[in-house]
Amino acid sequence: RLEKYEDESKLLTLELRNKSAELEEMTKLKCDKEMQLEELSETLRKVEGLLVKKKDLEATVENLQEREKETKNVLQIREKEIHDLKVHLTSTAEKEQNYLKQLMTLNTDLEGEALKNEQLTGYIDKLLLEKEQIAQEKSGMATELKKLQESHEASCKLRADSRKKEENTKQLVEKLEEANGQLRQVKTNINVQNELESLKEKMAKKGEEIKSKLDEREENAKSIENEISRKEKQLKILENKMNNLKKQVENKTKCTEELQQENKVLKKKITAESKKASIYEGKVNKLQLEMENMNKQHKETLDIYQKDIETKKVNENKLLEEVEKMRLLADEATITQRETDVRCQHKITEMVALMEKHKHEYDKMVEEKDTELKLYKIKEQEQLSSKRSLESELSCLKSELSSLKEQLKAEIEEKENLAKEPPSSMVPENEKKHKKIQTHFSETPKAHLDLDCASMNVKNKKSPNDIPIKVNMMEKKKKPPSVSAKSPLGSPSLRTYIIKTPPIHKLQSESTSLHSEQCMRKKQKVLLRLDAQSDSSEHSDLL
């Protein structure tokens, strides 16, 4: 019996396994059908979204068409305006040409009148010259008449000479008649001159009228040119607007064409997808019928299996106990695995911390090296700047040395010239003694002695009455070697400088008081002490 029960139990277990496999297959089929239904619903949603997009695109296409119509109307209006402006410009250009022709004719008339005026002025000048000549002749004739009257009175006394004088008077009368004829001609010429002056006035009036007309014409031409320039600017602006509108229309037409093509593509897609949707709807209906049949079969099988399950729950309880034991073992294994994972993570964090420490140390070292490099660069720049400044100072000192050497040469030549001159031209020794004054300046030796300041102090000293003094190097005294040997630490060397005043005859002419003469006769002698071992205390230095 036990064997029979065992065989039956085995058969039942096999049947249970088969039935469970069939149930799993049925559940899988159910899940697949549900997935298909969800996919179909998603496709339907997509189709609805595409339909909404289609409606939006149709609305946008209608808006674009309306805008296109509006832009076409605007373009037509603008083209009409441009045509009107072109007609106006052509008319203004014709008017301008007419005005220019009139101006040319007026200019030619003015030139002719100017030539006539020049001819008339020449003729008037000739007449004026003739008038002056006639006036001179008239005055001469009047003087001759006076002489004749005097001679006629004398003729009463001297009848012998009367005949000759009568002949002379006859000649004079003839001359007077000729002069009267010339005067009549002059009067006629004067009348002509008056007529010419009236003509001149008329011509001047006409010239002024012509000038006023020309000015008005020029103003009209300028106003027309301004209007033309304005109209040209407006035309350019309108052309730019036209080009922009054309570009916008072209872009909009392209957009409409693209949208129409997209509409066509979308319509094709919608038709294809509607066909697919109809096919899917038929499939869904078939699947729903199959699902209903499967549900009925499933309920029948469930009733059968419930009975079998109740019988086998006992076996399942036993299996569950075994499963719980296996779960406990699996939990212990997972706990051990977690502990090992935690240990590994701790080790990894320790390694990362060590690496970060080393990284920070290396970064600090790099920063220190960078700071050292920057300091070295700064020092190098400072040295370069100091070098440049020293070079500039050297160049200045060399230039000063060259100038002082030239002064020394000039003074030596002056001394030689003075030595060659006779003793009568020499200044007395007493006056020379009064011209020399020694001023001793002692300074402590410094490494950074400013030689320029000393030279400026020596050069800028003046007499009490602000008379300039020529500073010239006359003597250059140095201490003997015994003194230098006593001061091994670089004792300052004494150098003497004599400042020479101008000659006495110049001072006497310039000075106005005895006080200024006494001040100008003083001597100035500068003794400067410089450091022997300093950079600027060479033998070639003058200060």
Extract the tokens encoding 400: 């000063």
Indicate the DSSP class of residue 180.
H
**Structure pTM?**
0.27
Backbone φ and ψ for 86, nearest 5 degrees, come out as -65, -40
Backbone φ and ψ for 209, nearest 5 degrees, come out as -60, -40
The pLDDT, as a whole number, for residue 94 is 82
Return d(Cα 21, Cα 15) in angstroms, integer.
Answer: 10
Judging by DSSP bridges, how do beta strands 438-441 and 470-471 pair with one another?
Answer: unpaired
The pLDDT, as a whole number, for residue 347 is 80
Q: What number of other Cβ atoms are within 10 A of residue 148's Cβ? A: 16
The 3-state DSSP class for residue 495 equals: strand
The pLDDT, as a whole number, for residue 527 is 35
**DSSP of 348-372:** HHHHHHHHHHHHHHHHHHHHHHHHH
Return d(Cα 472, Cα 496) in angstroms, integer.
Answer: 11
Q: What is the pLDDT along the chain (543 residues), one digit of tens a residue?
A: 667 767 777 787 787 788 778 778 877 887 887 787 788 778 778 777 777 877 887 787 788 778 778 877 877 887 787 787 778 778 877 877 777 787 787 777 777 777 877 777 777 677 778 767 777 776 776 677 677 667 656 655 655 555 665 676 567 667 666 766 666 666 666 666 666 677 667 766 766 776 776 677 677 767 777 776 777 787 778 778 777 777 877 777 787 778 778 777 877 877 777 777 677 777 777 777 877 777 787 678 777 767 776 777 777 677 678 767 777 877 887 788 788 788 878 888 888 888 888 888 878 888 888 888 889 889 888 988 888 888 898 889 989 888 988 989 898 888 888 887 654 444 444 444 444 444 333 333 333 434 344 344 433 433 334 333 333 444 333 333 333 333 333 333 444 444 444 444 444 444 444 444 554 554 433 333 334 444 444 444 443
Return d(Cα 125, Cα 119) in angstroms, integer.
Answer: 10
Return d(Cα 93, Cα 96) in angstroms, integer.
Answer: 5
Return d(Cα 389, Cα 455) in angstroms, integer.
Answer: 19
Residues 6+ apart with CB under 8 A from 530: 443, 445, 449, 492, 493, 495, 536, 537, 541, 543
Handedness of CA 16, 22, 27, 28 (dihedral sign): positive
